[in-house]
Chain A
Amino acid sequence: MFKFAIKNMAIKKVKIVLIVISIVISACVALLAYNISEQVDDGFKSTAAYYDIIIGPAGSSTQLAMNTMFFTDKPLGTISYEYVENLRADMRINAVVPFTMGDSYNGAKIVGTEPVFLEGRALSDGEMFDERFECVLGSAVAKKYGLSLGDELVTSHGLAEGGHAHEQNPLRVVGILKQTNTSYDNVIFTAVETVWATHDHGGEEEHTQEEHEHEEHGEICAILVKTKSFNHYNAVKTEYGADASLLVINPSEVLREVLENVDMSSKIVYILCIIILIMNIFIISVITLLNMYDSKKEISLMRLIGIGMSKINMLYILQNGIIGLISTVLAFAASRLCLILMGEFVASMGIVLNSSKIYPLELAIMALIFTISVIPTVVCTLNMSRKDGLSD
């Protein structure tokens, strides 16, 4: 029967290829929409806010939080490193981590900070940066540019590609972070002092005044603070918040606001996913029914020569099952290919898409697509079996 099913499909290859393409496109859209919405949501939620205060120059609180936690967007500007020294001397505070950003390597942002910023994040290779001009790479950066330990990176000024190259002060790779599928995979980490030293060279006339503003010695973009208690948190926040040149935020609060917006977006995406899925069910059912309608003459012929309806049922279930299976597998492969192709675009928003990530509901969607490519066959052949062979 399998051999005959294949032969019978082969004589309708153009039609079957078109059916498969139709199912693959609609199923791929459903899988992709669901997977991306889930991964974006996971990406936000997986970045835990350990620090309870972030201090930066006055501006947008969302921009400050997103820049320091997800490395997206540009820094708000710079503040003096003296704030870090003052905070470190403050007995109410547990941890103070400076954060600066302003250079890049082929578009990958370079974060100037301290090793403690990467505490809890494992290295897949090498060690943490310690000396000046040493750096640790995010896993995606290392993979994308084929970088390994000991390689030297000539960074460029600014966060976009094509800035002034810091050829005199290349960074040496001493460590590579383990892949986490978070925004940390896309960034290069080095010491704050390295960022300052990189800019401590001649040729300053090449920089505009605006570009130069945030890179002077002793300037940083933000400070991440962990206080000892809730009372201390309130006191420190109020104290530094009183300074009009500073913006003091609680990253958890800002993240919650962002997540609420993301959550709303997710709900919209879910609704769209459901609509897409319903459309897919309809489209695939119609395609399968039309395919069966085209086969009516053939089924009638088989019935007239004495082939039983159970055999005819099995033959068409087998044929449509093969079409459904091939379409489902191709739709899955196409969705993963799209994830890989879209990865770079989404990475710029601080989210790393993992093409190997499969959600249980995706398997359910694939099972549903397979089922709806077979069920109309059963309905159609059962309907035909109630009539005599001459009716069609």
Chain B
Amino acid sequence: MIKTTNLSKHFQNETAIDYRDLVFEDGKSYMLLGASGCGKSTLLNMIAGILSPESGSIEINGEEMSSKSQKEKDKFRINKIGYIFQDFKLIPEMTVIDNINILKLERVDTSAADEVLDSLGILDKKNKKVKHLSGGERQRVAIARAIVKKPDIILADEPTGNLNFAIGEAVIKQLIEISKGKTLIAVTHDERLGKYFDCTIDMNEVTGGRRDV
């Protein structure tokens, strides 16, 4: 379970976002909806330990995240969280399998790579360079890298943001299917995809947008 309490994040442009307390239950899928700048991605980054909140706490399965050092947060993220980025965060010159095997630097077991790629329908692209893949295929590679380590939590920051609706919908379906039994939190602008998730959260209501500090 992920629980946020009194979360607040300040930015360099002297704005801040205050979050209402949230609880994400184990094994459920959540879609975070909301206008740009309302703090959806920031929340994901704080849960993942990439950003630190100015105040408040994030508790994941009983572990308090804000008290962890950056090294501990990195270790937690590599072991427990699968993060799918909007811009994929792949090395274009490397092959699909090398982009997954990058996790081996942290001794992550990637032996399920073939199985995951197969379930996403891109096993035949395994040895192709990422730069030669389509947008949908790249997003699938990013999903494969996030789930190959069998994480407890999957965070997806606008996973369909760079894709057209048809491909985006197919990607979300696959993501939901492959994330069964895990906690999935996905940020998206597209309300039409809400039907695939267990729960939809309107982030405009959670934060009320940015405020000046």
Task: Please give the residue numbers on chain A whose beta carbons come within 8 Å of chain B beta carbons, in ascending order.
Answer: 1, 4, 7-8, 11-12, 298, 301-312, 315, 388-390
- Closest chain-B Cβ to A183's Cβ sits at a distance in Å of 56
- Closest chain-B Cβ to A208's Cβ sits at a distance in Å of 72
A to B CB contacts below 8 Å, 30 in the list: A1-B105, A4-B98, A4-B102, A8-B91, A12-B93, A301-B89, A301-B91, A302-B102, A303-B74, A304-B50, A304-B83, A304-B85, A305-B78, A305-B102, A305-B145, A306-B78, A306-B79, A307-B74, A307-B105, A307-B106, A308-B71, A308-B74, A308-B78, A308-B106, A312-B105, A315-B105, A388-B50, A388-B51, A390-B45, A390-B51
Alpha-carbon distance between A350 and B150 when the two chains are bound, in angstroms: 74
* Residues of A with C-beta under 8 A to B51: 388, 390
The interface on chain B, measured as residues whose beta carbon lies within 8 A of the other chain's beta carbons, has a size of: 27
- Closest chain-B Cβ to A391's Cβ sits at a distance in Å of 10
B206 interface residue, CB < 8 Å from A?
Answer: no
B10 interface residue, CB < 8 Å from A?
Answer: no
Closest 8 CB pairs of A and B: A306-B78, A11-B93, A306-B77, A308-B74, A301-B89, A311-B105, A307-B105, A306-B74
Alpha-carbon distance between A7 and B98 when the two chains are bound, in angstroms: 8
B75 interface residue, CB < 8 Å from A?
Answer: yes
Alpha-carbon distance between A305 and B106 when the two chains are bound, in angstroms: 11
* Residues of B with C-beta under 8 A to A8: 91, 94
Alpha-carbon distance between A12 and B91 when the two chains are bound, in angstroms: 12
Chain B interface, >50% SS class: helix
Among A4, A7, A305, A312, residue most surrounded by chain B Cβ atoms (within 10 Å)? A305
* Residues of A with C-beta under 8 A to B83: 304-306
Alpha-carbon distance between A131 and B50 when the two chains are bound, in angstroms: 91
Task: Please give the residue numbers on chain B whose beta carbons come within 8 Å of chain A beta carbons, in ascending order.
Answer: 45, 50-52, 70-71, 74-75, 77-79, 81, 83, 85, 89-91, 93-94, 98, 101-106, 145
Alpha-carbon distance between A304 and B85 when the two chains are bound, in angstroms: 9
- Closest chain-A Cβ to B92's Cβ sits at a distance in Å of 9
Once the chains bind, are B94 and A305 in contact (CB under 8 Å)?
A: no
- Closest chain-B Cβ to A283's Cβ sits at a distance in Å of 26
Alpha-carbon distance between A285 and B77 when the two chains are bound, in angstroms: 34
Q: Determine the residue in chain A with the shortest Cβ distance to B42.
A: A390
Alpha-carbon distance between A310 and B85 when the two chains are bound, in angstroms: 23
* Residues of B with C-beta under 8 A to A389: 50
- Closest chain-A Cβ to B141's Cβ sits at a distance in Å of 12
* Residues of B with C-beta under 8 A to A307: 74, 78, 102-103, 105-106
Alpha-carbon distance between A4 and B79 when the two chains are bound, in angstroms: 20
- Closest chain-B Cβ to A12's Cβ sits at a distance in Å of 8
* Residues of A with C-beta under 8 A to B52: 388
- Closest chain-A Cβ to B101's Cβ sits at a distance in Å of 7
- Closest chain-A Cβ to B95's Cβ sits at a distance in Å of 9
- Closest chain-B Cβ to A297's Cβ sits at a distance in Å of 9
Alpha-carbon distance between A311 and B75 when the two chains are bound, in angstroms: 11
Alpha-carbon distance between A12 and B74 when the two chains are bound, in angstroms: 27
Q: Determine the residue in chain A with the shortest Cβ distance to B51.
A: A388
Q: Determine the residue in chain A with the shortest Cβ distance to B81.
A: A306
* Residues of A with C-beta under 8 A to B91: 8, 11, 298, 301
Alpha-carbon distance between A304 and B103 when the two chains are bound, in angstroms: 12
* Residues of B with C-beta under 8 A to A309: 70-71, 74
Once the chains bind, are A4 and B101 in contact (CB under 8 Å)?
A: yes
Q: Determine the residue in chain A with the shortest Cβ distance to B145.
A: A305
Alpha-carbon distance between A307 and B77 when the two chains are bound, in angstroms: 9
Once the chains bind, are A7 and B94 in contact (CB under 8 Å)?
A: yes
Once the chains bind, are B50 and A390 in contact (CB under 8 Å)?
A: yes
Alpha-carbon distance between A311 and B104 when the two chains are bound, in angstroms: 11
- Closest chain-B Cβ to A380's Cβ sits at a distance in Å of 18
* Residues of B with C-beta under 8 A to A315: 105
Given A4-B104, A388-B51, A390-B50, decide whether A304 and B93 contact each other with a Cβ distance below 8 A: no
Once the chains bind, are A302 and B94 in contact (CB under 8 Å)?
A: no
- Closest chain-B Cβ to A30's Cβ sits at a distance in Å of 33
Alpha-carbon distance between A310 and B81 when the two chains are bound, in angstroms: 20
Alpha-carbon distance between A315 and B105 when the two chains are bound, in angstroms: 9
- Closest chain-B Cβ to A303's Cβ sits at a distance in Å of 7
Q: Determine the residue in chain A with the shortest Cβ distance to B52.
A: A388
Once the chains bind, are B50 and A4 in contact (CB under 8 Å)?
A: no
Once the chains bind, are B89 and A304 in contact (CB under 8 Å)?
A: yes
Q: Determine the residue in chain A with the shortest Cβ distance to B146.
A: A305
